[in-house]
Structure 1
Amino acid sequence: MKTSYKKGFTLIELLVVIAIIGILSSIVLASLNSARQKGRDARRVADIKQIQLALELYYDAHSVYPTQALYATNLVSEGFISTLPKDPSSNLSYAYAGLAPSGTTCTSYHLGAKLETTGHTALSSDADSTGGTVCTSPTTGAWVTNADVTALAGGDFDGTLAQIYDVKP
């Protein structure tokens, strides 16, 4: 009499293979998440530089920078930028404040974004500003005392957080 052997995998072998696949997939997903974060950060830095260029063009045309309330409208309506970029994760506008260091008109600004990674190369050359006097009008010289950029961005935008990429003129 012939003994017939069934061919196939045992339950233990299948469980081991499933466990190995699970471990490998978690490693791949973790790597992909890191790459996505770096990609969004690169986009944020590029967006900030694009807005910074539009602000400089605005300054060349008007000899002042726009106030926080008007900067989005003025930059787009006057053709300095086609659309104002927004954060790729939250779809919110980047933090901006027109500053009046001398207390007269918006002669400076603070613009920035919170990056997801702490080791981004752009962080070594950013402004790391701790605030300033926010102007409210580019023409009349009105300004707000004791208001700084920290209040405008919920506390993260004061230049002390390592993940904030910020620029000034």
Structure 2
Amino acid sequence: MFIQLRKSPRGFTLIELLVVIAIIGILSAVVLASLNTARVKSRDARRVADLKQLQLALQLFYDANNAYPATLSALTTAYIATVPNDPVGTAVPYGYDLASGGQSYALCANLEEGTNAALNSDVDVALTGATACVNTADTGPCSGSTTGRFCYNLRP
């Protein structure tokens, strides 16, 4: 009589599958955390670049008119294609305050990262009568009570 040898079933055990799923979950969490940090840094870099672009357009306007414009939308005629908005939302404009007499202004944006190097080189001096760029300290938002934001200010 012949004895039939039973072959073990092919495949993975439940424990092996759970270990692989756990490893994949841990790796994806690490990747997503790194990706989120990169997104924050890129949005902050965009904010700083947008304010530098606005500052250049404001200076061109001043050179032509001997005064700064009352609103940023006045720049769109000849100095800038469109007025940029905060990258978080298309309806969120950057802060702009004009000094009386039109001879000075304040531009501001709320950065998400408090360790951004741009905060070391911004202007931390308040403009008299400011409404959009009220807080000039790097440790809080430009205006309002938004937590986790750091005010980046530019002046001429």
Q: Is the 8 A contact 2:86 2:93 kept in 1?
A: yes
Q: Which residue of 1 aligns with 2:96?
A: 96
Report the CA distance between 1:93 and its aligned residue.
1.2
1:122-153 deviation line (CA, Å, top 9, x unaligned): 110001233313xxxxxxxxxxxxxx33xx36
Instruction: State the structure with bigger RCO (CA 8 A, min sep 6), 1 or 2.
Output: 1
TM-score by length of 2: 0.85
Aligned-partner residue type, residue 29 of structure 1: L
List, as ranges, runs of 4+ consecutive aligned residues in structure 1 with deviation greater than 3 Å: none
- Does the alignment pair 1:87 with 2:90? no
Q: Is the 8 A contact 1:131 1:158 kept in 2?
A: no
How many aligned positions are there? Answer: 142
* Separation in structure 1 between the aligned mates of residue 20 and residue 136 of structure 2, nearest angstrom: 49
1:80-120 deviation line (CA, Å, top 9, x unaligned): 111111111122111000013xxxx0111000110111111
- Does the alignment pair 1:164 with 2:126? no
| Matched-pair identity in % | 48
Note the aligned Cα RMSD (angstroms): 1.4
Report the CA distance between 1:65 and its aligned residue.
1.0
TM-score by length of 1: 0.79
* Separation in structure 1 between the aligned mates of residue 16 and residue 38 of structure 2, nearest angstrom: 33
Task: Identify unmatched segments of 5+ residues in structure 2.
Answer: 140-149
Q: Which residue of 2 aligns with 1:47?
A: 50
* Separation in structure 2 between the aligned mates of residue 60 and residue 76 of structure 1, nearest angstrom: 16
Task: Identify unmatched segments of 5+ residues in structure 1.
Answer: 134-147
Q: Return the index of the structure with the highest Cα Rg.
A: 2
Q: Which residue of 2 aligns with 1:107?
A: 103
Report the CA distance between 1:161 and its aligned residue.
4.2
